[in-house]
Every structure is written in structure tokens, then in C-alpha cells.
Amino acid sequence: MARKQHIAIFTTASLPWMTGTAVNPLFRAAYLAKNHEREFSKDKRSILPVGDITEMIPDEVAEIAILEEPEHLNWYHHGRRWKTKFQRVIGVVHTNYLEYVKREKNGQIQAFLLKYVNSWVIQIYCHKVVRLSAATQDLPRSIICNVHGVNPKFLEVGITRHQLKQGAQTAFSKGVYFIGKMIWSKGYTELLQLLSEHQNEFSDLQVDLHGNGEDFDEIQDSFSKLTLDVRIYSGRDHVDPLFHKYKVFVNPSTTDVVCTTTAEALAMGKIVICASHPSNEFFKQFPNCHMYNTSHEFVKLTLEALAEQPVPLTDDLRHALSWEAATERFVEAAELNEVFQEKALPSAKPFMLMSSDYWMKRLVEASAYLHNTVSGIEAARCAFGAIPQTLLPDEQLWKELGLGFPEQKQCFRR
């Protein structure tokens, strides 16, 4: 490339919160910068939950913006329009919000409304959207591609396990486990149902559950009522040596878009039992991934997995799980190597000569103006679920971030 690209990545979560939207954007930034065609800046590492976050990037380097969870970032966005500030805006959809909302009170109505709000804000603010899997809702200008990889440490564990097996040592001495945030919607509801329906078939089975979350006590209480040997532990990093010896990872979740822990388990050389679901489509290429359609298939596949040995990953499959491959897929899906410049609206023409593209752009501009107006009204924001007083960062927050309180905001507050 003739020059380096300037890419700003915005996301909805931050370390030490160990979620996909906190960890994966960091890996994306690191691997996009790895080939030195793009720069990496350490001074913009804070996440602002309030105010206009487009202001964090100077106009002179506002070239490409990657919005991790673009619908979430823009529900209450009030400020400069992303597509005006940046030459290219790419959204990466991580979360199946509709599925989560459906599980709440009046969930069907909320999901119906949210579906259209998501499409609306993405139409306004994104040039292109990458959906990690078909488990997400269809969105304007979107493409389906898994652009996530796994921490290289998981691949190293997989290689080590394979070497132990080749040396006639026991690579996997433990049985079945599941790891995930301990909230019911993260697969624990489905797992409880599967185990409770087949307690006789699983009478000799030990299942270990690992995780932290607000439903920990409820989940522990519910699983303790089974006649099975289910042991529940606090969460740890999945790469912890504690998990290396497990052979079978079960993941019945259907709320994920692409489950990070499933990819990590495959990278470590384990057998994975998961639901036949759009969120797991990427994993069908791996011989160690077995998918079920019914609870009876779940039982059959789990018991068979305990009796068999995992198939070693080929070099191509190992590469497919890496962040190198994920970055290659992302660059291609987001078309980062192409030069983009949104065409300016043409000068006024006679009414009959105006094209459909012209009217569509006018409609999007009007829609963006409406969203910006509504999102700037405190009462309207609160009515639609925003946290009060999040329209603008207060002076204390600006000071904590070392950014200095903007003069125009001081005038506004006075």
C-alpha cells in the first residue's frame, strides 16, 4: 500500500470484563496493525459510555471506523454522523439481541420494535456490516463472515495435547465440561433441560460447569436437584491449565452469534458437542465438532465422544481458527484494501430526472437528522431506555480520562 491506513475501533465493553466484545476488538486491532500497513495507537484505550465518541479521533486521521456492535453503539448516539466523520464505516455484529430480548417480559413486542430500530441506525451510520453468523438479524448492506479468531495460546495447548498423545501419554484424563457466563440465557437453560430429561442415560456421567454471573446461585441450586454428578465452579480463563485435560466440551447455547469458547475448545484439540444452529455454521468444517438436532442425539453424541479420541487438527484447520486467518477474512469482507469515497449529492435537478439513488440518499439524510434530534432530547432518550444524564460526559469524567473538559461544553453547561 502507498500509505498506512488509519483505523479507529469502537466497542461496547472493556477489560477486565472478559467478554467477546471486550477481547475480540483488541485482537482485531493488534492483528490489523501486525503487518505494519496500519498503525496502532495506545493513547485512545478508554471507552466513553456517554457523549459523542466520534470526538475521540482527530478529523485528520478519521479514515476508517470499525464499530463493534454498531446497533448498540448507535441506539442513543448523538453527535456527528459516522459516515460524515469517517470515509468508511464498518459495523461488526457480535450479539443476537433479538434472541435475548425475546426472553424478557413482553419480549416478542420488544424484539419486533428492536429489529426495526437496529436496521434504522445501521442504515444511517454504516457503509458495510459484517455479521459473524446468520444467527443475527438481516441488516442493510450486510455480509455473513466469521471474522474472529482465538488467542494463540489455545492453539499452543492443542499442539501440546497432540504431542502427548503421540508420545503414548494420556492427553485427556477428564470428561465433560461447560464454561460460560452464569446467566440462564448463556446455555444453562438448555443444558439443564437436556440433562434432566436424560438422567438415566447419563447416570455415570460427571459434568463440570465453570463460570461467574448474576444467576450463579440459581443455577447451582437448579443443577443440584438432579440425580447426576454436576459440579459447579467459579469462572476462570479458558486457557487455564485446569481445562487442558478435559476431552469433551458441551455447548447447547442458541443465543450466541459465534461462540468464542467453542472455537477455543476446538483449538485445544477437544471434541465439541453443540446444537445444529446458524451460530455454529463455521464449526461444521471441524471433524471434532459434532452437532445435534434432538436431545436423543445429544445423548448419543456425548457418550460416543467420551469413548473416542479427538482427531488432530490439520494445519489448514488450525490456521482457520487463528487471528491471522480471521484478519484476512475481515479485510476481504470489509473491503479495506479498496478505496472508498461516498459520492456527494448532485446539484439540484428537475424533479422527474432525479434517480432512485438520489431519493434514497435524501431519505437517509432526513432519517439521520431525525435520529440525531430525538437522541439529543433527554426526555426522549430516557423514554426509549437510555440511562439518565448520559447525553454528555460530565467534567469529572473528562478529567479522569485526561482529555480536558471541552470549552464548548463548559459554555453549554454555564
**What's the burial of 52, exposed, middle or buried (CB within 10 Å: 0-12/13-18/19+)?**
middle
pLDDT number for residue 397:
65
Same domain, 310 and 358: no
Report yes or no on 408 lying in a domain: no
Same domain, 30 and 93: yes
pLDDT number for residue 295:
96
Distance from C-alpha of 268 to C-alpha of 118, rounded to nearest angstrom: 36
Query: Residue 393 — pLDDT band, cuts 50, 70, 90?
Result: low
Same domain, 156 and 303: yes
Distance from C-alpha of 353 to C-alpha of 104, rounded to nearest angstrom: 49
The residue with greater pLDDT, 35 or 260, is 260
Residue 42 has pLDDT above 80, yes or no: no
Report yes or no on 346 lying in a domain: no
Mean pLDDT of 135-163: 94
pLDDT number for residue 342:
47
Same domain, 123 and 192: no
Identify the CATH number of the domain in which residue 291 sits: 3.40.50.2000
Same domain, 131 and 175: no
Query: Residue 369 — pLDDT band, cuts 50, 70, 90?
Result: confident
Report yes or no on 143 lying in a domain: yes
Same domain, 112 and 164: no
Query: Residue 414 — pLDDT band, cuts 50, 70, 90?
Result: very low
Mean pLDDT of 82-101: 90
Q: Which of 76-85, 121-130, 319-328 has the lowest mean pLDDT?
A: 76-85
Same domain, 169 and 306: yes
Report yes or no on 414 lying in a domain: no
DSSP state of 75: T
Report yes or no on 230 lying in a domain: yes
As for how many domains the chain has, the answer is 2
Same domain, 23 and 136: yes
Report yes or no on 201 lying in a domain: yes
Same domain, 227 and 130: no
Distance from C-alpha of 371 to C-alpha of 193, rounded to nearest angstrom: 43
Report yes or no on 348 lying in a domain: no
Distance from C-alpha of 330 to C-alpha of 28, rounded to nearest angstrom: 9
Same domain, 71 and 181: no
**DSSP output for 3-46:** S-B-EEEE-S--TTS-SHHHHHHHHHHHHHHTTSSB---SS---
Residues written for the chain:
414
Same domain, 99 and 77: yes
> Where in the sequence is the domain holding 53, given as residue range(s)?
7-148+331-339+354-401
Same domain, 113 and 163: no
Report yes or no on 242 lying in a domain: yes
pTM tops 0.95, yes or no = no
